[in-house]
Amino acid sequence: MAEKQIMSKIKLQLPAGKANPAPPVGPVLGQHGVNIMDFCKAYNDATKDQVGNVVPVEITVYKDRSFKFILKTPPVSDLIKKKLKIKSASATPNTVFVGTLSAADVKEIVDIKMKDLNANDEASAIKIVEGSARSMGVKVA
């Protein structure tokens, strides 16, 4: 059986379990001819256990207008904000700090995010997460 021809790949970040046809989902999928409600139902079913997180999704659209999608792990910034229970990062990261992450907190975030990080080992992944934290105005202890 021949492979389906890929028409495009779309990347979106959507709240888990709450995708709907409103922007950004509707216009982006509509221009590729994908059935928007089918995607919303499938995405919401796949992410119903992660409600409260933003879950990135990579959608592959085929020439016959069918699709498949791959769920990614939540962004590091969202995981840090959730861990510290803050609404937003610092407006001036190197002067105003909004919280402190312990080494154990960083390790937890790395464990969640490791499969989607561009790192060869855990030490590199820890540096990536620490860098993201510092750029958000979060101290790393």
- For residue 114, the model assigns a pLDDT of 86
Instruction: State pLDDT tens for residues 47-102.
Output: 888 888 888 999 999 888 888 999 998 888 888 888 888 888 888 887 888 888 88
- CA 7 – CA 55 distance, rounded (Å): 23
Instruction: State pLDDT tens for residues 5-56.
Output: 888 899 999 888 888 888 888 888 888 888 889 988 999 999 888 888 888 9
Does 1 fall in a domain? Answer: no
Same domain membership, residue 124 and residue 87: yes
**Among 25, 47, 71, where does a domain finish?**
71
| CATH number of the domain bearing residue 136 | 1.10.10.250
For residue 10, the enclosing domain spans 6-71
* Residue type, position 57, single letter: V
Of the candidates 105, 106, 19, the residue with the CA atom closest to the CA atom of residue 55: 19
Backbone angles phi, psi at 59, to 5 degrees: -105, 130
